[in-house]
């Protein structure tokens, strides 16, 4: 056992630290090599101390939710992956306010809201991510964005301080917030919802779920929408019109159901996915002049 593993165990507990943990087991793409160290934490203080330790030791670290918008390299990640998911997902409801920690799935939060007759998160129920990731990228669907219901976001700053940031100071935009720009780590957020009736809320959730199921390749592992929406266009249509529906490299394929998704048809590697993304970008650029920008984050790649 290395000194680093021993140190991380002393911070987070022996049961919370693993070495050479395969990250394909922690991403929705089901792709990715091992992390040198994989740490799960259940408290803000343990998270703060883990981050402080990594900085002191000049070790790379990455904070991971449920891995729904990420592609991990086949070689894995040489640093410390800090997971905020299984042990960092409390949700509490107080009147029309819901506070959730960063690791809570949006689907769980939406269900808690429905049980408490609170409307506003129906579209979020089908987004396959955690609250933390949703705040980082201002996640949205069907005209809804997280900024629409956010009161404040609780963050850990690069200096090791914990503070609450009001919604208006989060610089929310399309798939953007100030979190990445300022090096924050999302710890949780308070949402403000509207009174409603559970029956109506769940009916709307089902309606949106049915729409999503009919249009998106939910039956295959993926990282969600592969590309950001280009101004004045839809990525999926550009890809389809370029003749790339069903295009395949290795186990990675452009979904035949929705061309905006690259899916893992089975045994796909990160190299397969990246090669397919580059082919899509090159073809669409040649055909239309539009350069598609990936929405998926990459981890462990050398460049």
Q: Please write the tens of the pLDDT for every residue from 207-248.
A: 999 999 999 999 999 999 999 999 899 999 999 999 999 999
Residue 153: closest CA among 130, 127, 122, 131: 131
Structure token digits, residue 258: 């929705």
Catalytic residue among 122, 225, 247, 255: 225
Residue 226: closest CA among 289, 164, 175: 175
Cβ contact 283:218 at 8 Å? no
Residues of the chain with CATH 3.90.78.10: 235-299
- The CATH code of domain 91-215 reads 3.30.465.10
CA atoms of 49 and 53, how far apart (whole Å): 6
Query: How would CATH label the architecture of 3-83?
Result: 2-Layer Sandwich (3.30)
Catalytic residue among 49, 175, 229, 298: 175
- pLDDT at residue 93, rounded to an integer: 97
Residues of the chain with CATH 3.30.465.10: 91-215
Q: Tens of pLDDT along 135-169?
A: 999 999 899 999 999 999 999 999 999 999 999 99
Host H or E run for residue 153: strand 150-156
- pLDDT at residue 303, rounded to an integer: 67
Distances (CA, A) of 261 to 189, 194, 209, 252: 29, 33, 17, 10
Q: Tens of pLDDT along 56-89?
A: 999 999 999 999 999 999 999 999 999 999 899 9
Catalytic residue among 96, 245, 295, 298: 295
Q: Give me the CATH topology for the region 235-299.
A: 3.90.78
The structure tokens 């590309």 sit at 227
Query: For this structure, is 295 an active site residue?
Result: yes
CA atoms of 262 and 255, how far apart (whole Å): 6
Query: For this structure, is 159 an active site residue?
Result: no
Backbone angles phi, psi at 262, to 5 degrees: -95, 125
Residues of the chain with CATH 3.30.43.10: 3-83
pTM: predicted TM-score of the whole model, two decimal places: 0.93
Cβ contact 242:287 at 8 Å? yes
Query: For this structure, is 108 an active site residue?
Result: no
């Amino acid at each position: 056992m290395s000194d680093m593993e021993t140190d991380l165990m002393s911070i987070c507990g022996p049961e919370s630290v693993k070495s050479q943990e395969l990250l394909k087991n922690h991403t929705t793409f089901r792709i990715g090599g091992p992390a040198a160290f994989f740490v799960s934490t259940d408290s803000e203080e343990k998270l703060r101390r883990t981050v402080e330790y990594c900085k002191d030791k000049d070790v790379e670290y990455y904070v991971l939710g449920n891995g729904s918008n990420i592609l991990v390299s086949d070689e894995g990640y040489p640093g410390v992956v800090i997971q905020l998911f299984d042990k960092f997902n409390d949700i509490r409801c107080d009147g029309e306010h819901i506070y959730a920690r960063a690791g809570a799935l949006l689907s769980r939060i939406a269900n808690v809201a429905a049980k408490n007759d609170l409307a506003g998160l129906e579209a979020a129920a089908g987004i396959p991510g955690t609250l933390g990731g949703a705040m980082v990228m201002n996640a949205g669907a069907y005209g809804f964005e997280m900024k629409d219901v956010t009161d404040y976001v609780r963050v850990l700053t690069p200096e090791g301080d914990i503070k609450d940031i009001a919604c208006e100071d989060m610089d929310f935009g399309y798939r953007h917030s100030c979190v990445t720009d300022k090096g924050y780590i999302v710890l949780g957020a308070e949402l403000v919802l509207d009174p409603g009736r559970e029956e109506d809320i769940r009916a709307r959730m089902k309606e949106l779920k049915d729409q999503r199921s009919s249009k998106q390749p939910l039956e295959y592992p993926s990282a969600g929408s592969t590309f950001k929406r280009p101004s004045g266009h839809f990525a999926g249509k550009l890809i389809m019109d370029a003749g790339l529906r069903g295009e395949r490299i290795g186990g990675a394929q452009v979904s035949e159901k929705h061309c905006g998704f690259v899916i893992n048809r089975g045994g796909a590697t990160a190299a397969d996915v990246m090669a397919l993304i580059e082919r899509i970008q090159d073809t669409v650029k040649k055909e239309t002049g539009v350069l598609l920008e990936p929405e998926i984050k990459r981890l462990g790649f050398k460049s």
